[in-house]
Structure formats: C-alpha cells, structure tokens
Structure 1
Amino acid sequence: MSPTSEKAFPVSWDQFHRDARALAWRLHGAGPFEAIVCITRGGLVPAAVVARELEIRLIETVCIASYHDYQNQGELMVLKEIDPKIRALGEGSGAGVLVVDDLVDTGKTARMVRQMLPKAHFATVYAKPQGRPMVDTFVTEVSQDTWIYFPWDMGLTFQPPIRNGAPR
C-alpha cells in the first residue's frame, strides 16, 4: 500500500490523541500490564498516551523497519531488540506486557514481535483486515487499500473539496 492509493485517511493530532485515549479506555480492563513495548516509530506516540492513561511507567521499544522509502513495505529489519528484562516477564512469555503500535497493516511486524513475546497483549490504534488477526485490541478498522496519513508525517496544506477531484 502506498500513499498514492485512491483512498486516503488523513488523521489530525487531535483525532489521533482522541483515538489513542479510546485505545487506553479499551485496554483499561484488559490488564494489569507491567510494561509497555512500543513498536517504533509509529507506536511511540500512542504508547505515550496509553502509558499516561493507564499509569504504566516501564516503557520499552522494539525497533523494526518495514517501510524503508515511506511508500512500499519491504523486508523487516530488527534495528533494536527488546530488553531481556522485559522479555523475561511472564516467565519469558510476555504475559503482562502490552505491545502498542499505531497501525497493523499486513501483520508482518506484529507477527515478528509476537514471536518475541507470544503472550503479550497487542494493541493498535488502527487495523487493516490482513493484520487484524494479529492484534487483541484496536480502535478503528480501515480498508486494506487505504493509506493513513499520520499527523507526524504531514504539514498543514490546503485540501481541495472532494467534488473537485480530491482523493477519497
């Protein structure tokens, strides 16, 4: 899926914050969680919101690159592993760990992290159908052929009216 897709889903900072808080509401009863592992880079912002709302102080990252050119998903590359102390939680299964990302697309990244933490609870703000089975909790499902424009990837620009040929 590339940003030249016919279906565009632009998300403002306000909307993303509301959606991340909605994710925290849904996760509130699913814990308790001892730690959050956020999948970088997209998981950093929602993990910060969820950590605040659920009062989780132990936050770790796993750094996996899949979009190397901002357009096409390529081979997954683990740039930073999960700290062994976090991996040891739940007797090495990841039980009690919350994994947070902005989006599950094809599910490849989530599948890789699930191998690292098989019993962790996976949560994303947005989910596409192919990746949806890999997550336990999400807020909004979008079609597989939709490109989500996250607020940290955009600047303020004019958007022409849909009737005038703007992407849908």
Structure 2
Amino acid sequence: MDNQQQSKAFPVSWDQFHRDCRALSWRLADKGEFTAIVAITRGGLVPAGIIARELGVRTIETVCIASYHDYDDQGELKVIKPIDPKVVGSEGGEGILIIDDLVDTGKTARVVREMLPKAHFASVYAKPMGRDLADTIVTEVSQDTWVYFPWDLSMQFQPPISKDTAG
C-alpha cells in the first residue's frame, strides 16, 4: 500500500464504532416509531443490533446482498436472501428502518430502496456517491477513503503518514 492510499485509510475501533452507532441512534430517535429494522448484511448486522437496543426495536430482519468484485471495482449485485414479505407488509416499507455500516457507491442501497421505497435508510458512514440514498448518517468520508471496520482489523503497528517523523 503506497503512502497516498494509506493516507486515505479510515480505521475504526470497536469503541469508536459503538459511539458512532449510538450517535446514529440519537439522530433516529425523533424520526418516528420503527416497527422493524432491516440490516443489510453483512456490514449492517452489528449497527442494527446496537440501534435496535437503543431504540427498543425487537424485530430485526436481514437482506443479504453480495457484490462480486476484485476489491478495485464493485461488480454485479446478487440478492442472496430477500426481505421476508411479512416484514415488508403492504405499505412499501413504511415504519421500517434500513441499517448499513457504509453507503459507498450506492449500488446496494438502490437495490434495497427499490424493495422498501417508503423505509428510512440510515448508515453509520457514507461516501459522496451514495450519500443521497441515505436519509440519516453520522459521518461522511471522501470517495477515495477506505473504511476499515473493527471486524477487519487486528492490533499491529501503523506507520506514520509522514515519512519525516522517524528519529
């Protein structure tokens, strides 16, 4: 990883992620009563659990979408597990809260928005290409930033951004 890529890294600790999920909960608390949460897997699972606790929502459903890619370019999306029709109801998702960890290019968010057009979409983090698809977020990062979630990290040395810090 070169210095340019490294300077766009955004590592998130478990503590920070928990604080950010709680901050998202605070922003959602005055948005109405949610009858269910739909977590976009896999990234939306952890924030959905935290937010469900904070908002007192007992029903958590998942929608499982896979993007087949080579980590440089998001590829074709495939819905592996759709949302249970009993959760969706006949109101187009009204009263449902969709949760994801990150809205990036917006491809996944668009697919889920089509499934639940009246739902409230919330994401902990957002990039500019997908930002308009989320109703509520906590933090926006640049499109070229790579967010490293706590479940992707291990404790190890991180070199400084500037090479002039040695000595």
Fold match (TM-score > 0.5): yes
Mapping of residues 151-166 of structure 1, within 5 Å: 151-164=150-163
Q: Which moved more, 1:71-80 or 1:136-145?
A: 71-80
The SS at the match of 2:156 is: coil
Aligned-residue CA RMSD in angstroms?
1.7
Larger radius of gyration: 2
Q: What is the aligned length?
A: 161
Mapping of residues 1-168 of structure 1, within 5 Å: 5-6=5-6, 7-66=8-67, 68-88=69-89, 91-164=90-163
Q: Percent identity?
A: 70
Cα offset for 1:101? 0.1
Structure 2 unaligned segments of length 5 or more: list them: none
Matched letter for residue 112 of structure 1: V
TM-score by length of 1: 0.91
Hey, what's the Cα distance between the residues in 2 that align with 1:67 and 1:126? Answer: 21
How many angstroms apart in 1 are the aligned matches of 2:39 and 2:164?
A: 37
Q: Which blocks of at least 5 consecutive residues in structure 1 are unaligned?
A: none
Distance in 2 between residues matched to 1:66 and 1:136, nearest whole Å = 23
> What secondary structure is seen at the aligned counterpart in 2 of 1:143?
coil
SS of the residue 1:131 aligns to? helix
SS at match of 1:61: strand
- The ranges of structure 1 where at least 4 consecutive aligned residues each deviate by more than 6 angstroms after the TM superposition are none
Q: Secondary structure at the match of 2:128?
A: coil
What TM-score do you get using the length of structure 2 for normalisation?
Answer: 0.91
